[in-house]
């Protein structure tokens, strides 16, 4: 649903739902909803944030939903206040043009323009500053987290290799692309609030609210910023609990009921499925002694020559004294394009190793492996894998820091 039509469809529902808790006219004076380290959050701030959540998540509100949205709105404003207070402490300033540029990116992803978003929000009664405040806090917090932890996060070559091999291994199996919404619950104690929240989210999804928008607003998982999209994953690498869930899905678009998982409550959506798309790519040099030139002496000399190759650049030099030998650089070729005999011969070779001499229709042949790589949809490069691992570590450190700030802050809910 387009951003504008989504807002237009929600305004009447929101207005009607707000009647459930509307105060008497004489009481419509803006008050203080919370105080964070002596900085107030007004009831107007909360109402504006509620409206922004509802319009962006596509939720059709009722009395129970509004109560949950109010909690979500206040909680988000408290965290943003802590983030912006920390930014001031570290003298981090976010220029208004940075916020505007981020808004332009949001508009482009929604097939809209900055002016149209501004107009659509205004027509829904949402102050654009509500969205700008949220983006300003996100930018400031990202700068702070990168500044505090960026130089400390180390990703070793071994970590990259192990993670990439895991991805490659998974890519050779059937894969699924999932959406997830995680509502965190305390490890011990009362989980009723989290359980009620996940049920409310599930109800809204059942009524047609867009999964990505709901995930962005409510999910506590790192995938929330991507609309809950976890990317392609091998089924075998998923937790047994999630494997059981997706085994019940027959087609993309299906959504699970909430389930209890370590850390909270989870809803899973099946975005897509696919079979393995991995292809092994081999860089090969072919050495051929035509059948008409084969002699016992030539066979013996060629066998010794291919066994002594130490560099792909020196292949021709190694065999140049053997009359009739042809050297052909095959370039990069998919292993699945090779005939079984050759494919089996190169399997297990290390780079710059040659196969034993093979009797083929062309004569005597050997194949030198100069390089091996895996290609296929969803397989990251080493640089991409490093970025992913760094991002995961920074996300974890960010959440820990924010929890510490919240624990140390003086927060009064009114």
d(C-alpha 301, C-alpha 317), whole Å:
13
Instruction: Report the relative pairing of strands 264-274 and 326-334 from DSSP bridges.
Output: unpaired
Specify whether the CB–CB gap between 231 and 177 falls below 8 A: yes
Give yes or no for residue 13 having a pLDDT over 60: no
The percentage of residues in the chain with a pLDDT greater than 90, rounded to a whole number, is: 52
Domains with residue ranges and CATH for the chain: 3-149 (1.10.4030.10), 173-275 (3.10.50.40), 279-375 (3.10.50.40)
User: What is the SS3 assignment for 222?
Assistant: helix
What 3-state DSSP class applies to 231? strand
- What's the mean pLDDT in 187-208? 86
Residue 296, Cβ neighbours under 10 Å: how many?
Answer: 7
pLDDT at 294 over 70: yes
pLDDT value at residue 124: 80
Q: What is the pLDDT of residue 107?
A: 85
- Is a pLDDT exceeding 80 seen at residue 9? no
Contacts 24+ apart (CB under 8 A), 397-400: 397/145, 397/148, 397/149, 397/153, 398/141, 398/145, 398/149
Across 286-296, average pLDDT? 94
- Residue 5 predicted with pLDDT over 70: no
pLDDT for 2 beyond 60:
no
For residue 149, pLDDT beyond 80 = yes
Mean pLDDT of the chain: 86
Question: Would you state the pLDDT for residue 277?
Answer: 64
This model's pTM is above 0.75: no
Q: Which of 4-8, 210-214, 226-230 has the lowest mean pLDDT?
A: 4-8
Residue with tokens 């959406």: 179
Confidence check: pLDDT of 4 > 50: no
User: What pLDDT, on a 0 to 100 scale, did the predictor assign at position 185?
Assistant: 87
Mean pLDDT, range 284-298, rounded to an integer: 94
Q: Which residues pair with 369 in a beta bridge?
A: 284, 353
């Amino acid at each position: 649903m387009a951003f504008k039509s989504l807002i237009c469809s929600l305004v009447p529902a929101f207005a009607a739902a707000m009647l459930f808790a509307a105060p008497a006219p004489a009481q419509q004076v803006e008050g203080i909803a919370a105080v964070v380290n002596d900085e107030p959050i007004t009831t107007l701030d909360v109402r504006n944030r509620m409206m922004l959540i509802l319009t962006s998540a596509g939720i059709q509100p009722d009395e129970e939903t509004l109560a949950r949205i109010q909690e979500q709105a206040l909680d988000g404003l408290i965290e943003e206040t802590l983030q912006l207070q920390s930014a001031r402490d570290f003298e981090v300033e976010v220029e208004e043009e940075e916020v505007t540029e981020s808004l332009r990116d949001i508009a482009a992803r929604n097939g809209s323009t900055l002016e149209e978003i501004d107009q659509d929000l205004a027509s829904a009664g949402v102050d654009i500053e509500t969205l700008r405040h949220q983006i300003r806090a996100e930018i400031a917090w990202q700068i702070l987290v990168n500044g505090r932890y960026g130089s400390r996060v180390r990703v070793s070559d071994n970590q990259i290799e192990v993670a990439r091999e895991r991805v490659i291994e998974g890519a050779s199996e059937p894969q699924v692309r999932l959406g997830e919404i995680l509502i965190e619950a305390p490890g011990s104690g009362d989980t009723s609030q989290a359980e009620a929240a996940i049920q409310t989210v599930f109800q809204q999804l059942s009524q047609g609210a867009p999964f990505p928008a709901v995930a962005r607003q409510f999910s506590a998982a790192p995938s929330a910023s991507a609309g809950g999209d976890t990317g392609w994953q091998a089924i075998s690498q998923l937790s047994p609990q999630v494997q059981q869930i997706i085994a019940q899905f027959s087609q993309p678009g299906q959504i699970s009921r909430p389930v209890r998982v370590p850390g909270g409550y989870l809803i899973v959506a099946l975005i897509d499925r696919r079979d393995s798309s991995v292809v092994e790519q081999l860089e090969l040099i072919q050495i051929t002694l035509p059948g008409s030139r084969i002699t016992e002496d030539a066979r013996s000399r060629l066998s010794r020559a291919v066994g002594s190759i130490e560099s792909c650049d020196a292949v021709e030099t190694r065999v140049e004294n053997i009359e009739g030998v042809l050297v052909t650089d095959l370039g990069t070729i998919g292993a699945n394009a090779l005939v079984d005999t050759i494919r089996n011969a190169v399997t297990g070779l290390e780079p710059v190793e040659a196969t034993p001499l093979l009797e083929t229709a062309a004569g005597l042949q050997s194949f030198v492996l100069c390089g091996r790589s895996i290609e296929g949809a969803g397989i990251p490069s080493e640089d991409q894998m490093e970025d992913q691992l760094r991002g995961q570590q920074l996300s974890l450190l960010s959440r820990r820091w924010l929890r510490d700030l919240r624990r140390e802050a003086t927060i009064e809910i009114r």
